Amino acid sequence: MPIAVTVTIVIYRNTAFLMTNPYITPMEITPARKWALTQIVYQDILDEIDEHFHTLNVEYMPIKGAYLICSGLAEKMSERRICDIDILIHEKDMQKTSDYFAGLENTELRMYYKYNYRPTESIFYYSIAEAKVLLEIHMLLNFPERFVLPTDDLFSRSRPGNGRLRLPSPEDSLLIFLCHIQSHMPFEFRNTYLEEINLLVSQEGFSWEKFWDLSPSTGIEPFIYFTLRLYQKKYHCTINTPTNYLYSDLLVKKFSLQWFEQLPQWARRVFFDLPFVRRPVWLLFYKLFHNKKQN
């Protein structure tokens, strides 16, 4: 093998390992540079995954960070941390798809959906070069007690990509991201969240009117309002919201990243999780039961 090719392969393998680990940033690589290299590695993985879904003849939808890369929007972000690849499929395809990926030589099954504490997703380690990337295949984004985004509805409004690829509508891509933020509020609020919102609302064809028509069905409109008010505050823009929420407005006035990061996790759950989910009592008892089961 020519020396130049060998060197290129070694560099790629090392790059793949570093760029797929969100918690390692070599001192000589800036976060922006790491994000640029990460996109290259993850695009290669997504290209391979696309071939697998073509073989399966199964429609699939990349969401969150995977959507940014597939749609080309990732290039417009200054930096972003990506921890996994999230793929949404129809419920009817879940068992076939999970069994197929579990049988690949370069995957390692971490959790089969039927035995997962969240029985709506199968999780794999997907290997490429020297890296292992978490691949999460969902038939539902989360428990409906937290928020509602029916998979079939998302696919019915989606845009066609190449082959079996479907891309969420511009409005749904924002709804998916806001619901994702809500589910992570007890743990983090990344400094790139508002930049990503700005990118998603700037997509061609995005309509605030369509977005506000869809948002009430999620069951977490007060949280959506809260997050978009933070976005509005940072970018000094005007968003015509259908209604106001007093608690959300109070949190916006108090909120800062420094204040949020100083809060213990229980306080984040009290302020940002339980008041906003669809069924807070269910969530509280579920968390208590799950924690007890783990211990």
Give all strands of the β-sheet with 121-128 in edge-to-edge order: 61-63, 84-88, 131-138, 121-128, 107-111
Question: Of 111, 142, 168, which closes a domain?
Answer: 168
Pairwise CA distance, residues 151 & 259, whole Å: 35
Please indicate, yes or no, whether residues 174 and 164 belong to a single structural domain of this protein: no
CA distances in angstroms from 232 to 94, 195, 196, 252, listed in the order given = 38, 11, 13, 10
Give yes or no: residues 146 and 6 share one domain: yes
Examine the domain organization and report whether 133 and 183 are in the same domain: no
Q: What angle do CA 89, 51, 37 make, to 5 degrees?
A: 95
Are both 114 and 87 inside the same structural domain?
yes
If you average pLDDT over residues 226-250, what whole number do you get? 95
Among 153, 168, 183, where does a domain finish?
A: 168
Report the candidate in 106, 129, 182, 142 with the shortest Cα–Cα distance to residue 18.
129
Task: Please report the pLDDT score of residue 118 as a whole number.
Answer: 74
pTM (2 decimals)? 0.88
* Among 36-40, 119-123, 174-178, 275-279, the range of highest mean pLDDT: 174-178
Residue bearing tokens 């211990």: 295
- Shared domain for 162 and 293, answered yes or no, is no
- Judge whether 276 and 146 are in contact, CB under 8 Å: no
CATH code of 49's domain: 3.30.460.10
Strand partners, 135: 85, 124
pLDDT (tens digit per residue) in 94-110: 999 999 999 999 999 99
First to last CA, the chain: 53
Neighbours of 180 (CB within 10 A): 17
Per-residue pLDDT, averaged over 271-293, amounts to 79
- Same domain (yes/no): 141, 180: no
Question: Does the structure show a pLDDT above 60 at 241?
Answer: yes
Q: Stretch 11-38: mean pLDDT, rounded?
A: 64
Residue 278, pLDDT above cutoff 60: yes
Average model confidence (pLDDT) for the chain? Answer: 88
pLDDT at 293: 52
The pLDDT of 266-274, averaged and rounded, is 94
pLDDT tens for each residue of 119-154 = 899 999 999 877 889 999 999 999 899 999 999 999
Q: Decide which of 119, 137, 168 is a domain's last residue.
A: 168
* 1 lies in the same domain as 126: yes
Q: From CA 244, how far away is CA 266, in angstroms rounded?
A: 26
Task: Name the domain count of the chain.
Answer: 2
Q: Tell whether the model's pLDDT for residue 70 goes beyond 50.
A: yes
CB 117 within 8 Å of CB 290: yes
SS3 207: coil
Q: Are residues 203 and 242 in the same domain?
A: yes
Query: What's the pLDDT score for residue 28?
Result: 62
Q: pLDDT tens digits, residue range 153-183?
A: 999 999 999 999 999 999 999 999 999 999 9
On whether both 21 and 66 belong to a single domain, the answer is yes
The amino acid at 179: C
Question: What was the pLDDT predicted at 220?
Answer: 97
| Domain range enclosing 198 | 170-295
Residue 30 has pLDDT above 90, yes or no: no
- Whether residue 266 sits in one domain with residue 177: yes
Does 41 share its domain with 152? yes
Q: Note the helical H segments in the chain.
A: 3-19, 31-56, 65-71, 94-102, 151-156, 170-184, 193-201, 208-214, 221-235, 246-254, 257-262, 265-268, 280-294
The verdict on 109 and 49 lying in the same domain is yes
